[in-house]
Structure 1
Amino acid sequence: MKNLLTINKKSSGRNFSGKITVRGQGGRQKRYLRLVDWKRNVLDMPARVAAIEYDPNRTTDIALLVYPNGVKNYILAPTGLKAGDKVVSSTKATVEMLPGNATLLKFMPIGTPIHNLELTPGKGAQIVRSAGLAAFVQSKDGDKVIVKLPSGQTRVFDAETKATIGALGNEHHKEENLGKAGRSRHLGRRPKVRGVAQDPRSHPHGGGEGRSGIGMKSPKSPWGKRTLGRKTRKLHKYSDKHIIKSNIR
């Protein structure tokens, strides 16, 4: 579907000024970006699943939907969805709890597996979008719904938030063995040089004679920040008030 494809421009980890901002990227295979429908705004119009397709830009497969009016869209393919099935997006309580259907959290029974979850009503899906993942509706309290996320975090969402029913497919992705270095290069992953193998100008672990250790109490990043155990979440983040149980130990 050419109107649902756009070129995914290579950046090799550089920003607009050419400076490396993400190390270890570059040299990947050319890709086209599939324009996925994150909002599911075509309401109460059943769509036919024309095909389940591979998407090189994400870990899960995508499904091509064809609506009766001729509109075509991509969505993430949940487990159990196959070509020929019908899916629908609705803001009414009448929607069936079948994989691929999208509706508001307030209409979903407790224990329902969901994915493609919005953080803000109407903004579009932002979380639970990787292969094999599912969040679960735990309880409801008025205009709030409590959801357990795949990370173990328990969080409060607005009842008007939209999500898609079912767990995402391609659940064996994490067990995939690339087999050779060339597969990583095709994915745009360049080799990572250990800090102890570098010179002291390039890394805090570098230098020394022969096979020497890191020479410090705890490991550090290339920029001198302590790693292994240091918490990276921003303190007093605005969303802390929505988190009931943290996934941070």
Structure 2
Amino acid sequence: MALKQYNPTTPAQRGLVLVDKSQLWKGKPVKALTEGKTKTGGRNNKGHVTSRGIAGGHKQRYRFIDFKRRKWDAEGTVERLEYDPNRTAFIALVSYADGEQTYIIAPQRLAVGDKVVAAKKTDVKPGNAMELGQVPVGTIVHNVEMKPMKGGQIARSAGTYVQVVGRDRGMVIVRLNSGEQRYIHGECMATVGAVSNPDNQNTNLGKAGRSRWLGKRPLTRGVAKNPVDHPHGGGEGRTSGGRHPVTPWGKPTKGARTRHNKSTDKMIIRSRHSTKRKG
């Protein structure tokens, strides 16, 4: 999909850059594959704000996505590509011979009418899913499981992908977008190709209201507040917030490590922090 720029006929149009969705389905989603979605406004069951910056937003329905891709050896046909308000990637409606329909995350270069299949081992073609242990080294994949049968968790956002770089004793070595290299079990499923809508990162919303449609509220910088409201607040003139930036509750932020005692740390071969990728 290409980017769409607008003539500055209004202040909101000036600088507005959106993804061209003219090739997507213009109707409603399959009702049986959706359910209603309630908004929290960032509040918990007591009405207290527990997540700042959330409120409003356009009404949405949740689309059920097949992240597991365990309908093996059944060829499906891509009926249409659709917009999904719950994610940055586009989704594809797949129809099978037995009449079943499912939504999958649409990879790049997947078109209406294409055939997709999930199997233990199959052709390396965008949209096809297979076990990681059967994927040729060097292949680009997405929607990668971290545990067999759990469903895809890695590389589901627009434009993301994972590259298979090797195998070792029933495990597969993959390289993530962050530069991290890790082991994943060979029986985990992955879908061939990179996720659709890579131009999502190049959009410019153009006005604050468009951000509100997405359910995002503005956040006030800590340095603009009074000392009673934030650790960065107060001071004479403009200040930077100090050498050790913190949250409103005093926890270190802006680059402070928050990952501790994760059970999957042993699967990481090279951390994304160890060496910065070149190019």
The equivalent residue for 2:131 is: 104
Q: Letter of the 1:142 partner, please give it.
A: R
Distance 1:194 1:228 in 2: 13
Q: Does 2:70 match 1:41?
A: yes
Distance 1:229 1:69 in 2: 51
| Secondary structure of 1:146 counterpart | strand
Distance 2:92 2:73 in 1: 18
| 1:142 Cα deviation after fit | 2.6
The equivalent residue for 1:219 is: 245
Of residues 97, 103, 107, the one that matches 1:78 is: 107
**Gapped regions of structure 1 (runs ≥ 5):** none
CA contact (8 A) 1:49 1:64 kept: yes
| Further displaced range: 17-26 or 156-165 | 17-26
CA contact (8 A) 1:44 1:90 kept: yes
| Secondary structure of 2:266 counterpart | helix
| Secondary structure of 2:264 counterpart | helix
Structure 1 runs of 4+ off > 3 angstroms?
214-217
The equivalent residue for 2:81 is: 52
The equivalent residue for 1:123 is: 150
Distance 2:146 2:96 in 1: 27
Identity of aligned residues (%): 47
Q: Does 2:214 match 1:187?
A: yes
| 1:214 Cα deviation after fit | 5.0
| Secondary structure of 2:196 counterpart | coil
**1:129-148 maps to which residues of 2 (within 5 A)?**
129-148=156-175
Q: Letter of the 1:151 partner, please give it.
A: S
Distance 1:141 1:227 in 2: 37
Q: Letter of the 1:67 partner, please give it.
A: Y
> How many residue pairs get matched?
245
Distance 1:170 1:216 in 2: 39
CA contact (8 A) 1:38 1:124 kept: yes
Distance 1:217 1:145 in 2: 41
**1:133-172 maps to which residues of 2 (within 5 A)?**
133-172=160-199
TM-score (norm 2): 0.85
Q: Does 2:117 match 1:88?
A: yes
1:152-211 superposed Cα distances (whole Å, 9 cap, x missing partner): 1100011111110000110010000001111000001111111122122211111235x3
Q: Letter of the 2:246 partner, please give it.
A: K
Distance 1:132 1:185 in 2: 24
* Alignment root-mean-square deviation, CA: 1.3
| Secondary structure of 1:238 counterpart | coil
CA contact (8 A) 2:223 2:241 kept: no
